[in-house]
Amino acid sequence: MGVKERSTADAAVVGSGPNGLAAAVTLARAGLSVELFEAAEEIGGGTQTREEILPGHFHDVCSAVHPMAVASPFFQAFELSQRVDFFTPDISFATPLDSPAGSGHSALAYRSLDRTVADLGIDGAAYGKLLRPLVEHLDGLLDLSLNQLIRVPKDPSTAAAFAAATLRQGTGFWNVGFREDLAPALLTGAAAHANTQQPSLTSAGAGLMLAALGHAAGWPIPQGGSASIAQAMAQDFRAHGGVIHAGRRVESLSELSHTRAVLLDVAPPAFAKMADGRLDAKYERQLEIFRFGNGACKVDFILNGPVPWQDSRLANAGTVHVGGTRAQMAAAENEIARGKHPAQPYVLISQPSTFDSTRAPEGSHVLWSYCHVPAGSTVDMTEVITAQIERFAPGFRDVVVHSKVRTAAGLQAHNSNYVGGDFGAGLMDLRGLIQRPVISLVPWRTPLAGVYLCSASTPPGPGVTGMPGFHAAKYALKDIFGLEVPNLATNSGSAQPCDQP
């Protein structure tokens, strides 16, 4: 259903994912009247939490664990950690390997880098040498990673260290310096989040960033699920005069013609359609050739007990990357890049009910999992994912009570920004980093006056960071209203200048 009445606010934001909400919060905090339109009946986009299977069992619809929730410059300025309670596991992420002895054999990334180095044995020193410069200079790494690529970094030495580490882990030399399987498997488990070929420079860069966050700030899990992040932003937005219209789909920009600024948390194809032929041919062509990545098949489980990991230490990990050795995970990801469904896929797993008792009734657990699949896949990977978990947790099938699958095609049906089931909203390769969705020093601006794009299809890309929305709002404030970036802190006024995140 389209918007029946035209907005008369200063600004309109379309889409209430974390980026749309970040844009809305920033504009409202600057003292503008802002309306937020969400096509779905429920706000949050990639930060929704629902009773997907049974009442009282809360599963995250998309993201479940949030490495950027306390590290993103936007969320730091917004003081999210003061608005939402987080559980930060001592083991940020882990990768189990096959163990002939049957006792369990895993690579563990503790929040303490020193403890991780000690636990990795013979390759611990090499792992520490690779990660320590990034962990100790996380602010410089975040500045490099969470803004547009085409610019001079604020911390050149950290940028150089990151580039060197990325070149090493993103090429065929990625095993140089390692003699066993644990450390390489730990690194590839993080790198494979990028959903692209292994090794590659983009997956290596993403993995190194995630690993550094795991050792510096941890990978937090929000109490009550990811929806608590959306709720915190929505509450602040309303407190500063913002109005949310849920269940209100915007079909055309003409419906918002009375607003001075429009910020769109939508994928490039949706923007092109909403523009109604008003875009110039060159820009529209760049939107047409914007490429999306492969998809995911997500399976939610209800269990009558914790996952019976062969290595009991995995129960204390917030995220487990299931797939075996570096070579095995790379083979699976490369099969997907060739359009195939691997028999033993790389699977991401989190059991938030281990840390958060509000997620399931006593005696029950919720398990969140997904694996990568070719774009647009309609294949149900429940059995394959179950078998992979059983491989490292014998008896897993016996604790499964219910499951629910959402295929890659189903992910797109749920959220139109996930084209082909790609919840990264764009292929993460070198071209995809620079052309997101266009090649520009300010890619959030569009050729249409007052119209900005702020989805994960703009820099810095995927992840619950709020940064695409913040960047778009920053330029809208400057270009259209002549205003500074407001203070986003919990007890601040609505439009006090502050340093830009």
What does the pLDDT look like over 55-97, one tens digit per residue? Answer: 999 999 999 999 998 899 999 999 999 999 999 999 999 999 9
Residue with tokens 């394959």: 384
Domain range for 363 is 73-221+294-414
CATH classification of the domain holding 199:
3.90.660
Q: Is residue 472 part of a domain?
A: yes
Q: For residue range 390-411, list pLDDT tens digits in order.
A: 999 999 999 999 999 999 999 9
Instruction: Report the DSSP pairing between strands 347-350 and 365-373.
Output: antiparallel
Average pLDDT value over all residues in the chain: 93
CATH classification of the domain holding 281:
3.50.50.60
Do 345 and 358 belong to one domain? yes
Per the CB < 8 A criterion, the answer to whether 376 and 409 are in contact is yes
Least confident piece of the model among 28-37, 102-111, 455-464, 479-488: 102-111
Do 271 and 298 belong to one domain? no
Q: Is residue 410 part of a domain?
A: yes
Do 177 and 298 belong to one domain? yes
Give the whole-angstrom CA distance, residue 359 versus residue 300: 13
Query: Phi, psi at residue 86, to the nearest 5°?
Result: -120, 145
Do 81 and 204 belong to one domain? yes
Per the CB < 8 A criterion, the answer to whether 315 and 354 are in contact is yes
Instruction: Report the DSSP pairing between strands 59-60 and 34-38.
Output: unpaired
Domain end residue (candidates: 414, 442, 465): 414
pLDDT at res. 6:
58
Six-digit token string for 300: 């939610």
Give the whole-angstrom CA distance, residue 81 versus residue 68: 11
Do 112 and 163 belong to one domain? yes
Q: Which residues touch 363 (CB under 8 Å, ≥6 apart)?
A: 304, 305
Mean pLDDT for 163-180 is 95
Do 138 and 163 belong to one domain? yes
Q: Is residue 497 part of a domain?
A: no
Give the whole-angstrom CA distance, residue 117 versus residue 86: 26
Six-digit token string for 357: 């008792």
Q: For residue range 153-162, list pLDDT tens digits in order.
A: 788 999 999 9
pLDDT at res. 394:
96
Do 87 and 186 belong to one domain? yes
Query: Phi, psi at residue 422, to the nearest 5°?
Result: -90, 95
Global confidence as pTM: 0.93
Q: How confident is the model at residue 223 (pLDDT cuts 50, 70, 90)?
A: very high
Say yes or no to pLDDT of 338 above 60: yes
How many domains would you assign to the chain? 2
Q: Using CA of residue 201, residue 204, residue 210, residue 212, what is the dihedral sign?
A: negative
Give the whole-angstrom CA distance, residue 142 versus residue 401: 41
Q: Is residue 247 part of a domain?
A: yes
For 393, half-sphere exposure in the C-beta direction (CA atoms, 13 angstrom radius) is 25
Six-digit token string for 489: 């802190």
Do 248 and 365 belong to one domain? no
Six-digit token string for 451: 């119209």
Do 371 and 233 belong to one domain? no
Give the whole-angstrom CA distance, residue 470 versus residue 486: 11
Q: Is residue 496 part of a domain?
A: no
Do 138 and 213 belong to one domain? yes
Do 303 and 378 belong to one domain? yes
Do 203 and 338 belong to one domain? yes
Q: Is residue 501 part of a domain?
A: no
Q: Is residue 6 part of a domain?
A: no
pLDDT at res. 430:
77
DSSP character string of 174-213: TTTT--SSHHHHHHHHHHGGG-S-SS-HHHHHHHHHHHHH
Give the whole-angstrom CA distance, residue 261 versus residue 85: 33
Q: Is residue 58 part of a domain?
A: no
